[in-house]
Structure 1
Amino acid sequence: MSEEISNMNVQSLWGNPFFDFVIKPSTSKSGGILAILDKRKFTSISSSIGDGFMAVFGWWQSAEVQCLFVVVYAPQNQRKKRKLWTDIEKIISSHDTISIIMGDFNEVRNAVER
Structure 2
Amino acid sequence: MITISKDQNCLTLVNFFTVKPENQDALIQLLISCTDEFISECPGFISASYHKGIDGKTVVLYAQYENMEAFQNVINSEGGKRMVAEGTKLAEAAHRGLCQVADTRTS
Tell me which interval the TM-score lies in, with the shorter structure as reference length: 0.3 to 0.5
TM-score (norm 1): 0.32
Greater percentage in strand: 1
Bigger Cα Rg = 1
Higher relative contact order (CA 8 A, sep 6+): 2
Greater percentage in helix: 2
